[in-house]
Amino acid sequence: MFNSLQGKYRLPSTQSTGITGQFLQVRSVDVKEALRLQTENKFFILDVRPEAEFKEAHPAGAINVQIYRLIKEWTAWDIARRAAFAFFGIFSGTEENPEFLQSVESKLPKDAKIIVACSAGGTTKPTQNLPEGQQSRSFIAAYLLVLNGYTNVYHLEGGYITGSKKACQQNLKNEARQKRGVFGLHQA
């Protein structure tokens, strides 16, 4: 998937970036660290989910620029793509957003401190089924930003789903504490 995006987005020359064959790395942070960086160090959260998902819920101050968008055109090729998606039960097929980098550049300077986030988040941690980790929209977007000259890019590992699970677990713990009372006694 990432290789298909490389052809559509401009890759900077080694002279403009100063990168000479080094492996480009995007640093990953968990939800707790991301919130700390946002509040204490003025990081921007760049949410790359579709606009509809963003409108449902997002962190305060997050900026939405979708990396993929719904298929917009009605050419023969696009109709065939829609049919292929529908064959697999996906009735809202997506395509790469050709204005992704332009939109980000209009909202954030290249030296901005950015945490890129999506629902799933992906990970670099290997698992038995995914020995090289798992890709995600935010991972791909973070690498695109780095490849195009952004210098301070982080990635939200595990995405909002992980954050939601952790928040739910914390709420359950807090509720259990309240039921037990301060000294472990149940309050009526």
Catalytic residue set: 118
Q: Angle at Cα 163 formed by Cα 157 and Cα 168, nearest 5°?
A: 155
Residue 24 carries which DSSP code?
P
Residue 167 CB neighbour total at 10 angstroms: 12
As a whole number of Å, the end-to-end CA separation of the chain is: 56
Q: Are 48 and 170 in contact (CB under 8 A)?
A: no
Distance, CA of 84 to CA of 89 (rounded, Å): 9
Give start and end residues of each alpha helix (H) in 43-127: 51-56, 76-87, 100-107
